[in-house]
Amino acid sequence: MRVVLALGSNLGDRFDTLQGALDCLFDAPGLDFVAVSPVYETEPVGGPEQGPYLNAVVIAQTSIIEPLTLLERALGVENAFGRVRTERWGARTLDVDLITVGDVVSDGPELTLPHPRAHERAFVLVPWSQVDPDAVLSGRRVADLLAGLDQAGVRLRADLTLQRPV
């Protein structure tokens, strides 16, 4: 199954955190790296006043059948990078969201797939469409979803390039 993950950071050394998270995600068996998007500097959406984020999207291939196991891996990587949960949508050293896991649709208390807010988030859809121009989310082309969104707060950081995990 193909997996799409979104990474975000707006505290500490944001780029180092994204690269570290990428390496850490693929550090154990079960998840194979496919591609990573460019890095974008993005205005924070929602939550209290906070600094800008760096965001990127990672495409992976997985042999893990259970999406909750993937969520555990994502939350484990967040914790490894010192994430402290305070306010909803508050600043964080690292956020790892599961955007889609194959065609899985789920609405459990712990895991909603596809991610329930991905379709309205330019900070997810812009990097995703760059790394996969034909991407589809809940039956709609990501490129079409983007056409209806304000992308002004999402700026390419051409000076920052994530390396494929070692």
Ligand X SMILES: Nc1ncnc2c1ncn2[C@@H]1O[C@H](COP(=O)(O)OP(=O)(O)OP(=O)(O)O)[C@@H](O)[C@H]1O
Ligand Y SMILES: Nc1nc2c(c(=O)[nH]1)N=C(CO)CN2
Contacting residues toward ligand Y, per CB under 6 A: 8, 42-47, 53, 55, 89, 95, 123
The residue with its CB nearest to ligand Y is 8
The answer to whether the bond into 114 is cis (omega within 30° of 0) is yes
Q: Are 92 and 12 in contact (CB under 8 A)?
A: no
Q: Under rule CB under 6 A, which residues in 51-80 are in contact with ligand X?
A: 71, 75
DSSP state of 120: G
Q: Which of 16, 32, 73, 92 is the catalytic position?
A: 92
Q: Which of 14, 73, 97, 121 is the catalytic position?
A: 97
Query: In this complex, which beta carbon is closest to ligand X, that of residue 150 or of residue 159?
Result: 150
Annotation marks residue 83 as catalytic: yes
Annotation marks residue 27 as catalytic: no
Considering the rule CB under 6 A, would residue 32 count as an interface residue with ligand X?
no
Give the Å distances, CA to CA, from 82 to 50, 53, 135, 150: 18, 16, 31, 31
Which one of residues 13, 27, 65, 89 is an interface residue with ligand X (CB under 6 A)? Answer: 89
What secondary structure does DSSP assign to 5-23, as a single string?
Answer: EEEEE-SSSHHHHHHHHHH
Residue in the structure block whose two tokens are 């042999």: 63
Q: Under rule CB under 6 A, which residues in 99-118 are in contact with ligand X?
A: 110-113, 115, 117
Query: In this complex, which beta carbon is closest to ligand Y, that of residue 73 or of residue 92?
Result: 92
Nearest to 44 by CA among 88, 81, 80: 88
Q: Are 42 and 123 in contact (CB under 8 A)?
A: yes
Give every CB contact of residue 76 below 8 A, 6+ residues apart in sequence: none
Q: Which of 2, 83, 117, 141 is the catalytic position?
A: 83
Query: In this complex, which beta carbon is closest to ligand X, that of residue 75 or of residue 156?
Result: 75
Annotation marks residue 2 as catalytic: no
Which one of residues 40, 97, 127, 145 is an interface residue with ligand X (CB under 6 A)? Answer: 97
# residues contacting ligand X (CB under 6 A) = 14
- Point out the residues that are catalytic: 83, 92, 95, 97
